[in-house]
Amino acid sequence: MAHEDAGHYAAKHPEGTEVDPEIYQQLQKKIVKGKISCAAAHDIAGRLKVAPAQVGIAIDLMEARIHKCQLGLFGYQPEKCIVKPAENPSIEVKSAINAQLEDGRIACRKCWELADKFGVKKMDISSVSEGMGVKINKCQLGAF
């Protein structure tokens, strides 16, 4: 979505797409000043046992913004992206990232899986990716 489209998130979805009432109800409790954190959105998906993408669609249809990406890629103030290249990343983590690349990029979900596998923070994986020049794509909530 282009910057000039900001605030028109529902337009990303086909006309007639509806918000699941249960997801809507949960989001209403967590959206503050038109924003919801990535962590809160994922928490809702987990509690309702739905795909994060379903929650992301509902967020878009409610014209809310996702902020505080757990990978540090967007939604922070004032610098927006807070992820910095890792210093001295492990060879094992770098190899694991390389093994997950599709078209030179790694999916958000794969970063989360690697964080679990190596017992590190999600942002640690994005920091290694950043240092390798590997872009992260396919946000589980559909933000990017």
pLDDT digits (tens, 9 = 90+) for 78-136: 999 999 999 999 999 999 999 999 999 999 999 999 999 999 999 999 999 999 999 99
Model confidence at 4, pLDDT cuts 50, 70, 90, reads very low
Residues 6+ apart with CB under 8 A from 40: 30
Cβ–Cβ under 8 Å, residues 61 and 19: yes
In this structure, which amino acid lies at residue 112? W
pLDDT digits (tens, 9 = 90+) for 41-78: 999 999 999 999 999 999 999 999 999 999 999 999 99
Record the pTM: 0.91
Average pLDDT score over residue span 1-20: 78
Every domain of the chain and the residues it spans: 3-67, 91-137
Q: What angle do CA 8, 60, 35 make, to 5 degrees?
A: 95
Q: Token digits for 5?
A: 């489209």
pLDDT digits (tens, 9 = 90+) for 19-29: 999 999 999 99
| Among the listed residues 76, 57, 66, 71, the one whose alpha carbon sits nearest the alpha carbon of residue 135 | 71
